[in-house]
Amino acid sequence: MPPEDLASRAAVAALLRSRGIRPSKRLGQNFLVDRSVLNRIVSEVRVCAPREVVEIGAGLGTVTRELAVLAERVLAVEIDARLADGLERSLGDLANVEVRRGDFLKLDLHAIGEGPVFVVGSIPYRITAPILNHLVDSRGAISGVILLTQSEVARKIAASPGVEGSSLGVRVRAYGDVIRLREVPRSSFYPVPEVDSTLWRLVFLEAPRFSAGEEVFFALVRTLYGKRRKMIRGALRDLLPAEGVAEVIRAAAIDPTVRGETLSFEELDRLAIAVSRTVGAAQDS
């Protein structure tokens, strides 16, 4: 089947029927059938000019064929054996494409090729957080990322830190810039999901947006975002002995009555440094 047909809803439905494949809700399988979105992905990847690309969830190979034209090597990762079988047959004419059967979360990105890889993928909601965390953990092996996620996820990440953000969003933005590229209506997929999506880029920074120790910084972030209704002086009691809370807030020069999700990266960093010093002093005493 010519690759352009795979951006057609009717052709995708027919192809799945011919292979006896019913899209898996458990795996969040919704196949892109919007040529304009596909073209935007292609244009963004072309600008970045990656040497090696890793595709998360290659599906039917719609995006894979386009990536094969833009990169020297494409590693198409697919966890569904039914789809991987089809990919190996349909992409067999592309010498620079390797179909990798398995879970992207178990893929060591540092062990691929000779340099940083560019990552492209449409991510199911139920594993969005694990995949984003895996990308952040592997950032030293990544030259750039283009993702399709549920719009709510993209919005919360872009709004972090902030009242509309999330602890996951703070972790992602602590290490990278988020660039929203375009909104993608649910009608751009087959089967049609219940929500709209957003196409966005993640560009990792040379240095994180904080200087405190990672463990303390993100423990603080999880505590504050997990206690949204509490003022900082109350939320910190889940992280520190009561007698240390006032000293930490004073040392960080933070208003004790504000809520944690209103703090900027700079303020979160100051607070995390103050927490580290207080905990360290308590352990030394």
> pTM value?
0.94
pLDDT in tens, the chain (285 residues): 444 468 889 999 999 999 999 999 889 999 999 999 999 999 999 999 999 999 999 999 999 999 999 999 999 999 999 999 999 999 999 999 999 999 999 999 999 988 899 999 999 999 999 999 999 999 999 999 999 999 999 999 999 999 999 999 999 999 999 999 999 999 999 999 999 999 999 999 999 999 999 999 999 999 999 998 899 999 999 889 888 999 999 999 999 999 999 999 999 999 999 999 887 655 555
pLDDT on residue 2: 42
pLDDT on residue 152: 97
Q: What gap in Å lies between CA 80 and CA 100, rounded to an integer?
A: 11
Q: What gap in Å lies between CA 230 and CA 278, rounded to an integer?
A: 21
pLDDT on residue 279: 76
Instruction: Give yes or no for a contact between 79 and 24, defined as CB atoms under 8 angstroms apart.
Output: no
Every domain of the chain and the residues it spans: 3-204, 214-284
pLDDT on residue 3: 47
Q: What gap in Å lies between CA 186 and CA 142, rounded to an integer?
A: 29
DSSP symbols for 191-257: S--SS-EEEEEEEE-SS-S--S-HHHHHHHHHHHHHTTTSBHHHHGGGTS-HHHHHHHHHHHT--TT
Domains 3-204 and 214-284 share a fold: no
- Say which CATH class 214-284 falls into: mainly alpha
CATH fold of 3-204 reads: Rossmann fold (3.40.50)
Instruction: Give yes or no for a contact between 66 and 40, defined as CB atoms under 8 angstroms apart.
Output: no
DSSP symbols for 124-157: -GGGHHHHHHHHHHTGGGEEEEEEEEEHHHHHHH
pLDDT on residue 160: 98
According to DSSP, the residues that pair with 190 across neighbouring strands are 31
ω before 208 within 30° of 0 (cis)? Answer: no
Name the residue with tokens 């969003």: 169
pLDDT on residue 20: 94
